[in-house]
Structure 1
């Protein structure tokens, strides 16, 4: 298990073996995702959203913003 120490400026150095396993290097971004209260997942955020273009195929038809908002509302309400 790797550990790091928090500096007085709130910074940490990610241990070399962790950086290697995550394939991150100087200048790359990482994200902290809260998976439950007090527990976070550290994720490499090195790819841009434009890299996802074309990975999911083309939709059958265009979807309006209103339809997207409705789908989000339904999912949030558990329907």
Structure 2
């Protein structure tokens, strides 16, 4: 278990072992979910929208948004 202290400004430092284990880099985002029993779930948000490119199996050329809107 790793511990951290909260400052008077509500800030804390994530222990190095945890940062390394999650592969966190500067500017990565963290999401916190507070459950009714007081448990907190922290998730690292490391994906960018560009990371999802190709997830639907489309392998053709990039299509500009303006052309997509014309399909309506």
Q: Please give the TM-score of this superposition, normalised by the length of structure 2.
A: 0.65
- Identify the residue that residue 42 of structure 1 maps to in structure 2: 42
Unaligned runs of 5+ residues in structure 1 are 59-79
- Identify the residue that residue 12 of structure 2 maps to in structure 1: 12
- Identify the residue that residue 23 of structure 2 maps to in structure 1: 23
Unaligned runs of 5+ residues in structure 2 are 59-72
d(CA) in 2 for partners of 1:26, 1:50 = 18
More off after superposition, 16-25 vs 43-52: 43-52
Q: Which runs of 4+ in 1 moved over 3 A?
A: none
Higher fraction of helix: 1
